[in-house]
Structure 1
Amino acid sequence: MSVSYDFTGKVALITGSSSGIGADIAELFAKSGANVVVTGRNADRVAKVAKQCTDVSPKQLKALQVVGDVNNEQDLNRLIETTVQTFGKLDILVNNVGFAHMADVDTEDYFQIFQNVLYTNLNSVVYLTHKCVEHLAKTNGNIINISSIASKISSRGSSPYHISKAALDMFTKCMAAELGPKRIRVNSVNPGAVVTNFVINMGLPTEMVEKFNETIGTKYPVGRVGQSPDIANTVAYLASDTAAGFLTGSIVVADGGHLAANVSIDGEKQKLNKN
């Protein structure tokens, strides 16, 4: 039996929603009756996902398209202002955008890589949350941050990513405690390996990434790696006041049993890193 949610009348803003997990989250909210805001850096991709959202919307609600970069404060301000001007409010903020770059600490440009990863994965979330509180307080809204199981484990060659996600988890908990009196819930979803273009966009060959997912999937207790809808459904659950109204400050792991089975991916990651 499939689970359905009703977000009729809600406004959901999803960063990094022009592809991958973010696109599936946006489509699920649209399918569930919400007004959605699709945003990303590529105008064509934003338009494509926005159309898909409109097509699946029960009332054919037109998704709002905002092209921008989360690393640009002016773009983030414009994103919020356009959302509120268009829909009059904000109910759900999903901080989904993420970036990874594999590098050892003795890599020549390691610190620049570290700064870039932190800026995208953490700074943008902090800034957007800071700016959205006044709007979410009016709607008793909620925030869902897309983190990673990388926040809970270590591996070679990608310390900036692990650090950024560990910090994001703590930010989630701090905001849950701080914003609770404003009746804003804040939670995190921490995926394991998920089939998206996330790794491919780092410049790695598609066939190599597919082999990586296949190999890792055999190690997962569920017998496969994740798909974008797996994460989208978890986000929808957390966003539902009916289903998850008592959850805040939760770090919800959706990893196919990765952590439970102590799956190591260092060997496979090193193969990717060599290419």
Structure 2
Amino acid sequence: MSLKYDFNGKVALITGSSSGIGAATAILFAKSGANVVVTGRNADAVAKVAKQCTDVSPKQLTALEVVADLTNEEDCNRLIETTVQTFGKIDVLVNNAGTGIMALIDDTNYMKQFSLALKTNLNSVVYMTHKCVPHLAKTRGNIINISSIASKRSLYGLSPYCMSKAGVDMFTKCMAAELGPQRIRVNAILPGTVATNFMDVFELPIEMVDKTYETVGQKYPVGRVGQSQDIANTVAYLASDTVAGFITGSIVVTDGGHLAANVSYE
């Protein structure tokens, strides 16, 4: 029996929802009755996911498409304003937009890469939260931040990424405490290896990527790497006031046992 959520009447804004975890999350919210905002930098990808959301919506609700770059504050403002103008409110903010940044400390472009990692993975989370709080306070809504197990362990050549995600974890806990009096819940999810387009940043042949997923998956206690739907399911759980109304400030590890088993990528 599959678990079904009821988000009828709710408005869910999912950043970075034109692919991967964000897309799966948007589609699940739409399937559960929510009005969904699909956003990303590629208009065609945004449109494709928005159509999928509308197709699975029980009432055929039209998903809102907003092309935006979350490292740009003007785009963030436009995203939020368009959402409120269209739906009148925001109930759930999923801060999912992010990127993998690989750089060694002695690389000549390290500081540039470090800055990009912070802007994309941390600053966008902080800014979207900052601007959405007035709207979430009205709905007693909640925020789910997509972090990573990289916030809990070092990964060679990925220090900018690891640091940005560690910042997301601490921001989540701080906001849970600070926004509690306004009845806004704030939680974070730490995915392990998930088969998405995240590996594109390494510019590896598809055969090598598939082999990496296979090798890592064999090391996981559950016997496979994650799928976007695995993380989307956790987002929906945390977003539901009915089943998770007493959960806030939690860092929810959803990694197939990666951390528990001390899985190595070597």
Instruction: Bin the TM-score by the shorter chain.
Output: over 0.9
Q: What's the CA shift string for 1:149-184, capped at 9, x where partnerless?
A: 000011211000000000100000000000000000
Partner SS, residue 195 of structure 1: coil
TM-score normalised to structure 2 length: 0.99
| 2:253 aligned residue | 253
Q: Which runs of 4+ in 1 moved over 6 A?
A: none
Confirm or deny that 1:36 pairs with 2:40. no
- Residue 201 of structure 1 deviates from its aligned partner by 4.5
Contact 1:220 1:258 in 2 (8 A): yes
Q: What's the CA shift string for 1:111-166, capped at 9, x where partnerless?
A: 10000011000001100100000000000000000000000011211000000000
1:32-71 alignment, distance < 5 Å: 32-71=32-71
Contact 1:15 1:94 in 2 (8 A): yes
Q: What's the CA shift string for 1:238-270, capped at 9, x where partnerless?
A: 0000010000000000000001111112x2xxx
What is the total number of aligned residue pairs between the two structures?
A: 266
Partner SS, residue 65 of structure 1: strand
Confirm or deny that 1:195 pairs with 2:195. yes
Confirm or deny that 1:224 pairs with 2:246. no
Q: Which moved more, 1:55-64 or 1:193-202?
A: 193-202
| 1:141 aligned residue | 141
Letter paired with 2:30: A
- Residue 205 of structure 1 deviates from its aligned partner by 1.8
Partner SS, residue 186 of structure 2: strand
**For residues 11 and 201 of structure 1, what CA distance do their matches in structure 2 show?**
31
| 2:170 aligned residue | 170
**For residues 203 and 30 of structure 2, what CA distance do their matches in structure 1 show?**
31
Q: What's the CA shift string for 1:169-213, capped at 9, x where partnerless?
A: 000000000000000000001000000011125422211111111
Q: Structure 2: where are the runs of 5+ without partners?
A: none
| 2:236 aligned residue | 236
| 1:273 aligned residue | none
Confirm or deny that 1:72 pairs with 2:72. yes
Confirm or deny that 1:114 pairs with 2:114. yes
| 2:152 aligned residue | 152
**For residues 82 and 240 of structure 1, what CA distance do their matches in structure 2 show?**
24
Letter paired with 1:171: F
Partner SS, residue 194 of structure 1: coil
Partner SS, residue 197 of structure 2: coil
Contact 1:200 1:206 in 2 (8 A): no
Contact 2:195 2:228 in 1 (8 A): yes
**For residues 69 and 102 of structure 2, what CA distance do their matches in structure 1 show?**
21
| 2:125 aligned residue | 125
Q: Please, what is the CA RMSD of the aligned residues?
A: 0.7
Confirm or deny that 1:89 pairs with 2:75. no
Contact 1:136 1:184 in 2 (8 A): yes
Letter paired with 2:210: E
| 2:161 aligned residue | 161
Partner SS, residue 198 of structure 1: helix
Percent identical pairs in the alignment equals 75
**For residues 216 and 202 of structure 1, what CA distance do their matches in structure 2 show?**
16
**For residues 156 and 200 of structure 1, what CA distance do their matches in structure 2 show?**
17
**For residues 5 and 17 of structure 1, what CA distance do their matches in structure 2 show?**
19
Letter paired with 1:6: D
**For residues 179 and 168 of structure 2, what CA distance do their matches in structure 1 show?**
16
Letter paired with 2:65: Q
**For residues 204 and 37 of structure 1, what CA distance do their matches in structure 2 show?**
32
- Residue 66 of structure 1 deviates from its aligned partner by 0.2
| 2:101 aligned residue | 101
TM-score normalised to structure 1 length: 0.96
Contact 2:13 2:36 in 1 (8 A): yes
Contact 2:100 2:201 in 1 (8 A): no
**For residues 132 and 120 of structure 1, what CA distance do their matches in structure 2 show?**
17
